[in-house]
Amino acid sequence: MAATIIVPGLWEVSLGFVNAFVLESPDGLAVIDTGIAGSAGKILQAVKEMGREPTEVRHLLVTHCHSDHAGSVAELKRLTGASVTMHPADAALVRAGKALRPLKPTPGLINALVCRLMVASAPTEVEATEVEHEVDDGDILPIAGGLHVVHVPGHCAGQLAFLWPEQGGVLIAADAAANVFGLALSPLYEDLAEGQRSLAKLAALEFEAACFGHGKPIKRDAAARFRKKWRPNSAPVGQGQATTHAG
């Protein structure tokens, strides 16, 4: 089965090297990210495996313009009639059928290998499609009881993450980070320093679980893992001022 439950109400759909997600909402389903071109059938098959119907897909939330995330949004839109939501910086590219700004590999041997093996051959275009809704940092989408939008540029200028406060809190980090060989930076950034600032911002949020565009979800204590990596000097949440002895 391609669809697995991360927490009740949120499913991960494995599309090989990249993941999409399906969030159950009272008004239907939200599909978060759409894989490479040609993935719509697999995503809708996963929806059926969940016991739901493709016609129930109401929202297509695309975390950024890259072809492994926005590759099947046009096809899914045709098949379901759902509306598309993105950050304006990347919505402009997808409307024009573009999928890429210049990227630089993150330092490290594995990142260099990933770039050489996979990313160099990745399409620079996606099928152009209309994006009906533009959202930005701090917006709360009326989906699944309220889905919080977090703008996390760096990997991609229009990169979005989503925080779902239900079920102890779930962060859909998309490509702000990756969890293929452990929790780490993405292998590529448009602007690494900005990406690291975005990760410090995510690490200040509260969430129990996190899931990623690439790699496995973290189901427990995910925010603590983010803080250890990207806010190492911050006080652990839940601990008050350190008690000091008088004198």
68 binds Zn ion (CB under 5 A): yes
Q: Which of 42, 52, 59, 66 touches Zn ion by CB under 5 A?
A: 66
- CA separation for the pair 239, 245 (Å, rounded): 17
Other residues' Cβ atoms within 10 Å of the Cβ of residue 67: 20
Query: Considering only CA atoms, which of 61, 19, 68 is closest in space to residue 188?
Result: 68
Nearest residue to Zn ion, by Cβ distance, number only: 66
Question: Site mask, Zn ion, residues 205-224, x = CB under 5 A?
Answer: --------x-----------
Query: Considering only CA atoms, which of 197, 198, 178, 179 is closest in space to residue 188?
Result: 178
Query: Between residues 54 and 213, which has the closer beta carbon with respect to Zn ion?
Result: 213
Span near Zn ion by CB under 5 A; candidates 25-33, 60-68, 98-106, 139-147: 60-68
Q: Which of 175, 177, 183, 230 touches Zn ion by CB under 5 A?
A: 175
- List strand residue ranges (DSSP E) for the chain, in order: 3-7, 10-14, 19-25, 28-32, 57-61, 83-86, 104-105, 133-134, 140-141, 147-151, 160-164, 170-174, 188-189, 209-212
Question: Site mask, Zn ion, residues 86-105, x = CB under 5 A?
Answer: --------------------
Residue 214 C-beta: closest distance to Zn ion, Å: 6
Please work out the total of residues on this chain that contact Zn ion, with binding judged by CB under 5 A: 4
Span near Zn ion by CB under 5 A; candidates 46-54, 73-81, 144-152, 167-175: 167-175
Question: Residue 91: helix, strand or coil by DSSP?
Answer: helix
Question: Residue 100: helix, strand or coil by DSSP?
Answer: coil
Residue 139 C-beta: closest distance to Zn ion, Å: 21
Provide the binding-site residues for Zn ion, judged by CB under 5 A.
66, 68, 175, 213
